[in-house]
Amino acid sequence: MNITEASLFWGFLLVYGVVMYVLSPKSRNANSFYKGADDQGNPVSQWSLTASIFISWIFAKSVTNAANLGATYGVTGGLAYASYWLSIPVAGYIIYLIRTQTGARSLQDFLTSRFGRFAGLAFAAAILIRLYNEVWSNTAVVGGYFGLPGEWEYYVAAMVFTAFTLLTA
């Protein structure tokens, strides 16, 4: 990537970050955070949510994985990994069934009421590990756009991306 491309990319990220920061509802308590609303209960706008999904999609580790598998194994490799995304609507349907048939408000609530407190804690720990992995793997993908591991450009990009993510959370 030459200096002009890098400048345009960083410029896009900077403008996008500022716009998202301004438009995103500010949650200062757990109740509003988990409901996707600001402190007054106003929900996140559809535009803001769509923009958030858009940038997540661009930087997703899964996109890089699908591209790498496609490059290695052709269309079959790309399609095989892309089929992983079918797990999202399947999981959504299962969660819908759990909520409508058991009255549970969340998976945590369902697991705790059905299998005990330890099951709820184990699920929370698994989600924590998964989220930690997702944050750092996406950071590595962003760093890889600017340099190879071990190069200063890689680490600066990863740190800036991480700082932006933490500041806007």
> What digits encode the pLDDT tens for the residues 28-62?
777 776 777 777 777 777 766 666 665 665 556 67
| 84 closest CA partner among 106, 107, 60, 66 | 66
Whether 50 is in a domain gets the answer no
Whether 112 is in a domain gets the answer yes
**Structural domain range at position 127:** 104-169
List helix spans (H) across 107-151. Answer: 107-115, 117-146
Whether 67 is in a domain gets the answer no
Whether 143 is in a domain gets the answer yes
Choice between 137 and 92, residue whose per-residue pLDDT is larger: 92
Confidence category of residue 141, pLDDT binned at 50, 70, 90? confident
Whether 95 is in a domain gets the answer no
> What digits encode the pLDDT tens for the residues 62-91?
777 777 888 889 888 878 877 877 787 888
Whether 110 is in a domain gets the answer yes
- In one-letter notation, the amino acid at residue 1 is M
Q: Around Cβ 46, how many Cβ atoms within 10 Å?
A: 8
> What digits encode the pLDDT tens for the residues 5-25?
777 777 877 887 788 777 776
Whether 80 is in a domain gets the answer no
Whether 7 is in a domain gets the answer no
Q: Is the pLDDT of residue 139 over 90?
A: no
What pLDDT is attached to residue 60? Answer: 63
Counting the structural domains of the chain, the total is 1
